[in-house]
Structure 1
Amino acid sequence: MENVNQLLGIEDSQLTPFLKKLTIYTSGGPFLDGYILTIIGMALLQLEPELHLDAFWTGMIGAAALIGLLVGGAIFGYVTDLIGRQVMYQIDLVAIIILSVAEMFISTPLELVIVRFLIGIAVGADYPIATALLTEFSPRKYRGAMMGLLASAWYAGAVVAGIAGYLLLDMGPDAWRWMLGSSAIPSIILVAGRWGTPESPRWLVSKGRTEEALSVIQQVYGTHASLADLDEPTTEKTRFSKLLEPDYFRKILFVGLFWTFQVAPCFAIYTFAPQILEAFHLGSGNDWIIGYAIINIFFLTGTIASMSLVNHFGRRPLIIWSFIFMTLSMLVLGVVSGASAWLIFLGFAVYAFFSGPPSALDWIYPNELFPTNVRASAVGVVTAISRIGAAIGTFALPYSLQTIGIGNTMLVSTLLTFLGLIVCIAWAPETKGLTLKETSILTLNKK
């Protein structure tokens, strides 16, 4: 394997056991995000009467983690570019463990909002840390699939949360405490699995630490690997202001906007799935959980399919067609909100499946379009931008359901996904088959 990898070069190396392990454990952040944002929707079934929540506090609790994600991504992406990926790779998970346990002991809505906000910061910090680390180790042939697995992990976390919530509902009036505290369990597993992960050699080279970088790439790719295989400029200073340069700023806008228009309705649906399905008359009591679980499977199936489709069709056509089908399905849900359960379920299923490819490209595009010295910073910024929209949508959804009804709420979601389609048609570049150096110098007017 070592000789094969040397002949191919690092960008064309095989998918080694180390790279497989790295892919699995870097997926932990999105898994926890999906789990944490989904479990709160189920816990709210008990929390609303327990804490006497009105629409304001329900919206605040739903949006708190998203606002935390905004802060965590924006701040710790830059910190990760400054001090390294490996240092931060464990710290954020330890914080999630502590805060998950703390959630079990809250007694007021404000306390829950604060703890959820802090958990969001920790999860948001993991996105630029883990995705930059994975990108900088991944060969170009497998990069799309490896990054696509991160998107799949988000929905896998949501599915697991649905199962956990269903099982915990029978634990009595305090079941919500166990639901919220349960996110500590996967966090502990991830801390153990991430232990011993080396620093990114690309980041080490960008900081002039070439001997350490050489040691890492020879450990991962073979003793004959050299720094020349990285094709990485040395001693590149990290400057946050670089993201304001015209070409980089346009890339920030592109990723930030299409991500926002994708996740704003998606996260709102996830957080308040029980209320939405009830508004569509798709379940009573705990029956809605079955329909919710099936819809989750469509979300997960779409992201898994994107792992191969992103290289087969290319990034640009895949994201454009996905937004077309997402827009049409939301339109159907808005126009026929009083139709049969099967038609409504079909609309959700189509929307869920075609949300998969954009979810994968949320991670692929920002990590490919920016160089090593500002990669994590860029990922952090676009994560923050997307979470502004997601937080607003999640906070507003309870009010929307009360004031304009489920049909008009779905039509608002239609408008958001349509705007995402326009952004992708205007700016989405094609990065399939290119090296990280080639993708980082692309301009958005090159298809």
Structure 2
Amino acid sequence: MNKEPEAFNSGYIIGISFISALGGYLFGFDFAVISGALPFLRTQFMLDPVWEGFLTGSLALGCIVGCLLAGNLADKYGRKPGLMLAAIIFAISSVGIAVSSGLTLFVVMRFAAGIGVGMASMLCPMYIAEVSPAKVRGRNVAINQLTVVIGILVTNLVNYFLADTGPDAWRWMFGLGTVPSVIFLIGVIWLPESPRWLLKDGQDEQARKVLNKIGSVTFMENTTEAIRKSLTGNTKQSYKDVFHKSVRPAVAIGITLAVFQQFCGINVVFNYTSTIFESVGANLDRQLFETVAIGIVNLVFTILAMWQVDKLGRRPLMLIGSLGLSVVYIILAFMLQNHYPAGMVSIFVLLAISMYAISLAPVTWVLISEIFPNKIRGVASSVAIVSLWGAYFILVFTFPILAKKLGAYGPFYLYAVICFLGFLFVLRKVKETKGQTLEELEDNLIRH
């Protein structure tokens, strides 16, 4: 292998990473828009707690379908066609939700939006990981999480300003998703295909051209050789291969981290901000203002995570975040239980968001994009992310029911226990991955 120094075209790498990560913006939009729309939807569709949970969680059910579709599409046709399809689905579903005349059509269209979210949530981090050199891969994959939180913040701001436009404000909230969808689609047309997929598909010359745009000739030759070595043997992927004993440890870690990222409970704060603050007497304006504050804190600490993920590392950030959330949740639950003022509750809500944004939010996606071998990365990622969205559905479906029976504070004691168990899992099972190429990580997995 060539020992001369490798050089990278940083501007090009960041450019294609940001374009791919626009899928994350759409993910953030569809994820956040429900928080501002729920107060209107409760009136529009006369929602009880079960239907409120199902309407919110229907996005996750679509995400599961989207992940399964994306896994097969990504392996058969490449990463780029899947990203294009996700953009088209986003655009159509945004219009469909906005013009929904009844609850059934709304849920069907939100399920369709989930298909686009699911595809993007799997393909965007995977694509970025596959075009990024090892020493900046963590930061670049975290760009996807940055665009997610920008999507959340912008959506919360738009929701806040639309709230006074009347009972149909929710239609505008959802319909405006068409604009970033079209921008994303145009951007994806410009993207190159993943060089790792091109080599797997036998398109060696095209792969070398892409790698040569990303870095120097030395980088291109070294990376090509490493990828070819990792792809020796059977290159056809199936879900059966994901559970082969040689990769089972990585798959088990990926699934557990994905489920933990949801069962840690933070997405209850994102999706049910209005319910939480209503329980301590906040009016609608204050509820929507809190969603904006959450978006700002989420953005600031995601940027901090991008700075630290390739310096401090993945494992320390996960340990800090999981233990910190456990402590903050206990305090937050106590404050909600005893009806502390909304201002004091807000401090600990924002503290929880900051803990999550610097740790579990970006790092889980980074690890899922890294830990699986090249030959099964597509289907293994889809299994992990399907598990993530399944856990998200359970979380958001059960919260309104639990909150009605236990009070808004009750579930947070449960989430505190889950976060502590997650801390123990990371401490015992998750190894550091920073600074290693995807092929080096695969070699380490095989040796262990």
TM-score higher than 0.5 here? yes
* Cα drift, residue 336 of structure 1: 2.9
Q: Contact 2:237–2:379 at 8 Å: present in 1 too?
A: no
Return closer, same or farther for 1:219/1:444 CA change in 2, 3 Å cut-off: closer
CA–CA distance in structure 1, aligned partners of residues 370 and 121 of structure 2? 14
SS in 1 for 2:202: coil
Q: How does 1:297-446 map to 2 (within 5 A)?
A: 297-337=296-336, 338=338, 339-356=340-357, 357-443=359-445
Residue 157 (1) aligns with residue 151 (2): yes
Shift of 1:361: 1.3
8 Å CA contact retained: 1:57, 1:109: no
AA matched with 2:347? L
The match for 1:237 among 235, 238, 257 is: 235
So what's the TM-score if we normalise by structure 1? 0.92
Deviation at 1:187, TM superposition (A): 0.8
Contact 2:59 / 2:111 at 8 angstroms: preserved in 1?
yes
Q: CA deviation at 1:43?
A: 1.3
User: Matched residues in 2 for 1:383 and 1:294: separation?
Assistant: 28
The one-letter code of the counterpart of 1:237 is T
CA distance in 2, matches of 1:442, 1:333: 41
Segment drifting more, 430-439 vs 200-209: 200-209
Say if 1:78 and 1:374, in contact at 8 Å, map to a contact too: no
Distance change >3 Å, CA 445–CA 175, structure 1 → 2: farther
Aligned to 1:278: 278
Question: Are 1:141 and 1:433, in contact at CA under 8 Å, matched by a contact in 2?
Answer: yes
Paired residues for 1:87-236 under 5 Å = 87-222=81-216, 226-230=220-224, 231-233=226-228, 234=231
**Residue 267 (str. 1) matches residue 278 (str. 2):** no
Instruction: Say if 1:8 and 1:376 are closer, same or farther in 2 by CA, change over 3 A.
Output: farther
Render the CA deviation track for 1:268-292: whole Å, top value 9, x for unaligned.
22111111111133x2131222222
Contiguous gaps of at least 5 residues in structure 2: none
Alpha-carbon separation, structure 2, partners of 1:96 and 1:153 = 16
The question of whether the paired residues in 2 share the 8 Å contact of 1:429 and 1:445 is answered with no
Offset of residue 403 of structure 1: 0.6
Normalized against structure 2, the TM-score is what?
0.92
Kept in 2: contact 1:6–1:222 (CA 8 A): no
- From 10, 22, 34, the counterpart of 1:16: 10
Distance 1:406 1:232, change over 3 A: same
The CA deviation at 1:373 is: 2.5
* CA 1:269–1:165: 2 relative to 1, 3 Å: same
Say if 1:436 and 1:225 are closer, same or farther in 2 by CA, change over 3 A.
closer
* Kept after mapping to 1: 8 A contact 2:297/2:353: yes
Q: CA deviation at 1:27?
A: 1.4
- The residue identity in structure 1 corresponding to 2:382 is G
Q: Is the 8 A contact 2:127 2:194 kept in 1?
A: yes
State the Cα RMSD in Å: 2.1
AA partner of residue 5 (structure 2): L
SS at match of 1:311: coil
